[in-house]
């Protein structure tokens, strides 16, 4: 290092005024400067100018004296890197930064004199588990701050080369076998630093895949055949679950399972969630708990073999009853009730038999948790099984849809109705298989109306009562066909007013839902830039009770069916309330009576008030 490192900040300020250290004259347009070594010798190299989003704005190469010019760079703020065309010198950003993230901002017009440090050859060989060289493995060097400094690819024989300045670096190797860090580490923090002060060799072999094994038993100690075990991340406050298409592994007759971790799960604290897709038992986490904060976790390293302590599944409770139209008591088919503690999460590890032609439904093995995006038919019509999720759990919140609302993507795929939920959702990293409604305890969370396009949730960890001693829920029934309004236990419209229902293994619950046909709030969006909109419906007291979405040509919208009452509308994403306010307290109230639907006009071009 030279004294220029101590002058970096002063140099940056000088550039802001159009000058630079060591320059005789400031540029009047664009950027210009010189490339020299730390010994003062001119260096032939190429200069790249990036904007603050790391997009290349312009580039050029210097002459033999190291002088370069880019007069066409517009006025603004940039970051500038120099790449030497001769050996022995390192690529650097102006004023000694080794990465874009740590580079000094440069103001154009100005002069940028870039001084490079000596560089050393760092070479190595990357091989597979059998010692054969691997081609096209990306080798990336990170500095002590975790910023990427340089990267290269291995050749056919597995050899690779980088030119790096003196310092400490961590090396990542990624390609077809997966990702591994130097000295068999699973992530950057665990990687062994390599000090570069001269020619350095860094060799790395990929290890075989890790395996996670264990057993799932019932309370009498007998193995459970066909239970599903899946790796789950307590750091994300989520439990991954699956159903007929379990994304983990099903146990055999001896109750044993073997899981093969995915790349993103290496080096992270992981637990195992086990449940019964057939609904005979309630789910458990490793450590025999339903509380994610108390679950036993394991940090999986490449090549490791982890034996998980036995997970014991307990018998679950059940809830049964009928769904009928309130005024006529006519049976309602195709309703799939669900149970939450408060207005919380979708459940997991249960089987819900949706209501049949007589309105009869059954929910078995009640427990907390998370199900998949869509309900999947499993055998006889009207039966839903727990859904399948991947790296991000994918329950799909849904309210009954009005005739003007967009059809559910689940219905478009030919699946049965999406499970009702009040949980906020976000986009999962990949499409997932269809899943089901089930029964659980959950936290009070608002629904993400964007659930018609994405499906994932992040439940809050909590302790749930053992099914043997009973659990208290606030069940709800929602009609995805849009025939009736959502009803909570006690035949009320909100979770806050719902009647608690206790379910235990020894005492199944009976609950009938009398569902009101309800009305909708329809409206027109007035805007010069029509776009698809999604929103949520709240009561005047702040309870989330429904959702709405725009329809083609994206200027009309309609809510799910609602009970008579006073409501407020909010757009998902922007958080704007009807009409043109960001404050729920000042939102315009909409009165919905039994006499007729309500139609409103919403001017989206109005300036929003706080």
Among the ranges 60-69, 348-357, 399-408, 495-504, which has the highest mean pLDDT value?
A: 60-69
DSSP conformation class of 198 = S
Taken as a whole, the chain contains a residue count of: 610
What is the C-alpha to C-alpha distance for residues 422 and 449, in angstroms, rounded to an integer?
A: 9
Would residue 61 count as lying in a domain? Answer: yes
579 and 552 Cβ atoms separated by less than 8 Å: no
> Does the structure show a pLDDT above 80 at 546?
yes
Mean pLDDT of the chain: 77
333 and 355 Cβ atoms separated by less than 8 Å: yes
- Of residues 21 and 437, more confidence is placed in 21
> Does the structure show a pLDDT above 50 at 508?
yes
225 and 252 Cβ atoms separated by less than 8 Å: yes
Q: How confident is the model at residue 29 (pLDDT cuts 50, 70, 90)?
A: confident
Beta bridge partner(s), residue 115: 36
In angstroms, how far is CA 524 from the centroid of its own chain? 33
Are residues 98 and 22 part of one domain? Answer: yes
From residue 479, how far is each of 326, 418, 419, 431, 604 by CA, in Å?
14, 9, 9, 24, 30
Query: 245: number of CA atoms within 13 Å, CB side?
Result: 17
Would residue 569 count as lying in a domain? Answer: yes
Tell me which of 78-87, 191-200, 241-250 is least confident: 241-250
Please identify, among 158, 178, 205, the residue that sits at the C-terminal boundary of a domain: 205
Are residues 127 and 83 part of one domain? Answer: no
What is the C-alpha to C-alpha distance for residues 356 and 333, in angstroms, rounded to an integer?
A: 5
Q: Closest by alpha carbon to 394, among 427, 347, 442?
A: 427
What is the C-alpha to C-alpha distance for residues 504 and 473, in angstroms, rounded to an integer?
A: 11
323 and 362 Cβ atoms separated by less than 8 Å: no
> Does the structure show a pLDDT above 90 at 426?
no
Would residue 99 count as lying in a domain? Answer: yes
> Does the structure show a pLDDT above 60 at 3?
no
Please identify, among 140, 175, 205, the residue that sits at the C-terminal boundary of a domain: 205
Q: How confident is the model at residue 342 (pLDDT cuts 50, 70, 90)?
A: low
pTM, to two decimals = 0.47
Would residue 13 count as lying in a domain? Answer: yes
Q: How confident is the model at residue 386 (pLDDT cuts 50, 70, 90)?
A: very low
In the prediction, which pLDDT does 381 show?
Answer: 32
243 and 249 Cβ atoms separated by less than 8 Å: no
Please identify, among 259, 292, 314, the residue that sits at the C-terminal boundary of a domain: 314
Would residue 379 count as lying in a domain? Answer: no
Q: What's the sign of the alpha-carbon dihedral 326, 328, 331, 334?
A: negative
Are residues 299 and 229 part of one domain? Answer: yes
For residue 35, give the CATH number of its domain.
2.60.40.10
Would residue 291 count as lying in a domain? Answer: yes
> Does the structure show a pLDDT above 60 at 104?
yes
The three-point CA angle 233-235-240 to 5° equals 25
What is the C-alpha to C-alpha distance for residues 95 and 106, in angstroms, rounded to an integer?
A: 10
The three-point CA angle 319-320-326 to 5° equals 120
pLDDT in tens, 159-216: 999 999 999 999 999 987 778 899 988 889 989 999 999 999 999 998 888 899 999 9
Are residues 92 and 13 part of one domain? Answer: yes
In the prediction, which pLDDT does 236 show?
Answer: 63
What is the C-alpha to C-alpha distance for residues 168 and 182, in angstroms, rounded to an integer?
A: 13
Would residue 341 count as lying in a domain? Answer: no
Are residues 288 and 270 part of one domain? Answer: yes
In the prediction, which pLDDT does 27 show?
Answer: 54
Are residues 82 and 69 part of one domain? Answer: yes
Q: What domain range is 189 assigned to?
A: 120-205
Reported as type and span, the H/E element at residue 256 is strand 256-259
Are residues 111 and 125 part of one domain? Answer: no
Are residues 32 and 11 part of one domain? Answer: yes
256 and 214 Cβ atoms separated by less than 8 Å: yes
Are residues 7 and 99 part of one domain? Answer: yes
Would residue 343 count as lying in a domain? Answer: no
């Amino acid at each position: 290092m030279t004294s220029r490192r101590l002058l970096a900040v002063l140099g940056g300020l000088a550039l802001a005024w159009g000058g630079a250290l060591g320059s005789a004259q400031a540029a009047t347009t664009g950027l210009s400067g010189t490339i020299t070594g730390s010994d003062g010798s001119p260096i032939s190299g190429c200069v790249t100018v990036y904007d603050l989003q790391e997009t290349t704005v312009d580039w050029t190469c210097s002459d033999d004296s190291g002088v370069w010019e880019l007069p066409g760079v517009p006025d603004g703020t940039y970051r500038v890197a120099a790449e030497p065309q001769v050996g022995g010198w390192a690529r650097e950003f102006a004023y000694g930064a080794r990465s874009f993230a740590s580079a000094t901002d440069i103001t154009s017009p100005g002069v940028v004199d870039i001084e490079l440090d000596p560089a050393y050859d760092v070479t190595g060989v990357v091989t597979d588990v059998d010692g054969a060289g691997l081609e096209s493995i990306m080798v990336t060097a990170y500095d002590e701050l975790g910023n990427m400094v340089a990267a290269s690819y291995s050749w056919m024989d597995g050899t690779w080369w980088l030119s790096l300045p003196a310092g400490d670096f961590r090396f990542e190797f990624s390609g077809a076998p997966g990702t591994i860090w130097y000295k068999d580490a699973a992530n950057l923090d665990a990687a062994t630093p390599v000090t570069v002060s001269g020619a350095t060799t860094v060799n790395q072999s990929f290890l075989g895949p890790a395996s996670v094994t264990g057993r799932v038993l019932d309370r009498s100690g007998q193995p459970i055949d066909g239970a599903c075990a899946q790796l789950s991340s307590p750091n994300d406050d989520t439990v991954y679950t699956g159903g007929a298409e379990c994304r983990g592994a099903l146990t055999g007759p001896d109750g044993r399972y073997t899981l093969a971790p995915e790349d993103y799960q290496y080096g992270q604290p992981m637990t195992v969630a086990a449940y019964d897709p057939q609904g005979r038992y309630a789910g458990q986490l490793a450590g025999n708990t339903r509380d994610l904060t108390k679950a036993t976790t394991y940090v999986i390293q490449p090549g490791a073999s982890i034996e998980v302590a036995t997970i014991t599944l307990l018998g679950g409770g059940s809830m049964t009853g009928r769904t009928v139209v309130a005024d006529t008591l006519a049976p309602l088919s195709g309703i799939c009730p669900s149970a939450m503690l408060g207005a919380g999460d979708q459940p997991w590890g249960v089987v819900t038999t949706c209501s049949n032609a007589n309105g009869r439904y059954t929910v078995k093995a009640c427990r907390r948790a998370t199900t998949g995006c869509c309900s999947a038919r499993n055998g006889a019509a009207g039966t839903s099984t727990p859904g399948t999720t991947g790296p991000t759990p994918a329950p799909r919140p849904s309210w009954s849809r009005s005739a003007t609302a967009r059809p559910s993507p689940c219905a478009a795929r030919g699946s049965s109705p999406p499970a009702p939920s009040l949980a906020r959702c976000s986009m999962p990293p990949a499409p997932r298989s269809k899943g089901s409604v089930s029964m659980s305890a959950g936290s009070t969370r608002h629904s993400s109306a964007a659930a018609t396009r994405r499906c994932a949730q992040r439940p809050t960890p909590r302790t749930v009562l053992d099914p043997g001693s009973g659990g208290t829920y606030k069940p709800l029934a929602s009609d995805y066909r849009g025939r009736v309004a959502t009803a909570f236990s006690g035949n009320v419209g909100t979770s806050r007013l719902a009647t608690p229902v206790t379910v235990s293994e020894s005492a199944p619950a009976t609950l009938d839902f009398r569902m009101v046909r309800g009305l909708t709030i329809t409206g027109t969006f007035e805007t010069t830039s029509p776009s698809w909109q999604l929103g949520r419906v709240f009561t005047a007291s702040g309870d989330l009770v429904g959702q709405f979405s725009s329809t083609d040509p994206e200027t009309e919208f309609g809510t799910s069916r609602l009970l008579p009452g006073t409501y407020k509308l909010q757009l998902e994403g922007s958080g704007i309330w009807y009409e043109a306010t960001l404050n729920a307290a000042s939102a315009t109230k909409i009165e919905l009576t039994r006499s007729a639907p309500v139609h409103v006009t919403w001017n989206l071009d109005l300036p929003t008030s706080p």
